[in-house]
Amino acid sequence: MDYDFNTMDDFDFEGKTVLLRVDVNSPVDPIDGELLDDTRMRLHSSTISELSDRDARVVIIAHQSRPGKSDFTTLKQHARSLSNIIGKDVTYVDSIFSREAQNIISNMVNGEIVLLENVRFYSEEMPKLTPEEQANTYMVKTLTPLADYFVNDAFATAHRSQTSLIGFSKVLPSLAGRVMELELKTLYGILDNAQQPRVYVLGGIKADDSINVMANALRTNRADFILTTGLVANIFLVASGVDLKEYNYDFIVQRGYEDYIDFAKELLKDYSDKIILPVDLAILENDKRVEYSVDEIPNLPIYDIGSKTIEIYKEKILEAKTLFANGPAGVFEKEGFNLGTEDLLNTMAKSEGFSIIGGGHLAAAASNMDLDDDITHISSGGGASINLIAGEELPAVKALVDSAKRNKN
């Protein structure tokens, strides 16, 4: 694996202005706008603190949600939370590259920290632009003359090709922050030494990412078995000819995944020996968990994999030498339907193989179960980690590698 990127050990930051991209996207209370969780702030606090302690002038750029979402808001609360976690003032600037923002950055002193406004307020952040086009956006052209280095610590969004993640690396010496460095070196290290059997446990409700990763892992011979759960399993069951009834089929359609049924058929045709499907499922019936064989599913919502499936999957997990899991097995937040998610996580914790959890809800479930020390690596980024594990090139990582090559002298 090519992970020849620069890190914070490669530069002297004293008196330098650093543009630091982090991912502090957090759940927000829809009523009062307060942040409901500061996990990501705590995650990046070590990078921010180290830069400040090394007398850098730290200019943080970040996003919160996306346009049209109820939690698409300013970063004012994030600055307050970061200040409390780091123990230093983090000044919130309610713009990204206005004259006021430029003046504040120009007048910063060593060790000072500012947080600019949500970069997704800027119209050129999210459109699909080439790296060259991103480097020529107004944000990049305005902020670049004020900075000496670009530090990307936002591993959770490393699979995205967006202006604040890619554009600066084209024009500034760029390096990985501590979160990015740890994620890449850990994941690449595990992949470079991946032993067989290599078992993927793919579920959750974001089925597109998991199915695309599954396809790539199978086509590149990186997976020996794939255990399907959640909405991923439902799509593959329909593709295999199982009648999940109108309610569950409509749910697949409502989520925009109807086209993935044909894709799943193609994968089953070529890799039926590697893709393992549930034999029974847990249904929400009269507000209780009731299990049915897959060929006897009533027209009621599927909320989990069934007990027979859990036992089959546990055997595969215990046999694995390399394990990767992404997405819960069902609606684990609802009482009675946490069985699949928790049993599979407990089995992963007992496994003697390398085990990786790809962030998101499954990582939160593992932490709530106090399994952090029993899983080899819990990633901070679900989408980024599953793409990397499956052999996909992460745009933000490529940008760091390219920058290291350009600035190697």
**Helix, strand, coil content of the chain in percent (nearest 5):** 45, 15, 40
* Residue 117 is assigned to a ligand binding site: no
Tell me 56's DSSP state: -
* Residue 362 is assigned to a ligand binding site: yes
**170 contacts 134 by C-beta, under 8 angstroms:** yes
* Residue 78 is assigned to a ligand binding site: no
* Residue 80 is assigned to a ligand binding site: no
Q: What is the DSSP string of 274-334?
A: TEE--SEEEEEETTEEEEEEGGG--SS-EEEE-HHHHHHHHHHHHH-SEEEEES-SS-TTS
Strands across the sheet containing 288-293: 288-293, 280-285, 302-305
**Integer Cα distance of 64 and 67 in angstroms:** 9
* Residue 315 is assigned to a ligand binding site: no
Locate the DSSP E strands across 32-108.
57-61, 90-92
* Residue 370 is assigned to a ligand binding site: no
**176 contacts 45 by C-beta, under 8 angstroms:** no
* Residue 159 is assigned to a ligand binding site: no
* Residue 129 is assigned to a ligand binding site: no
Whether cis (ω within 30° of 0) applies to the bond prior to 298 is no
* Residue 24 is assigned to a ligand binding site: yes
Counting beta carbons within 10 angstroms of the beta carbon of residue 123, is it exposed (0 to 12), middle (13 to 18) or buried (19 or more)? exposed
* Residue 333 is assigned to a ligand binding site: yes
* Residue 44 is assigned to a ligand binding site: no
* Residue 160 is assigned to a ligand binding site: yes
* Residue 6 is assigned to a ligand binding site: no
What are the two backbone dihedrals, phi and then psi, of residue 302, each rounded to the nearest 5 degrees? Answer: -85, 125
Residues belonging to the binding site are: 23-25, 40, 63-66, 120, 160, 333, 359-362
Residues belonging to the binding site for ATP are: 333, 359-362
Residues belonging to the binding site for (2R)-3-phosphoglycerate are: 40, 120, 160
Residues belonging to the binding site for substrate are: 23-25, 40, 63-66, 120, 160
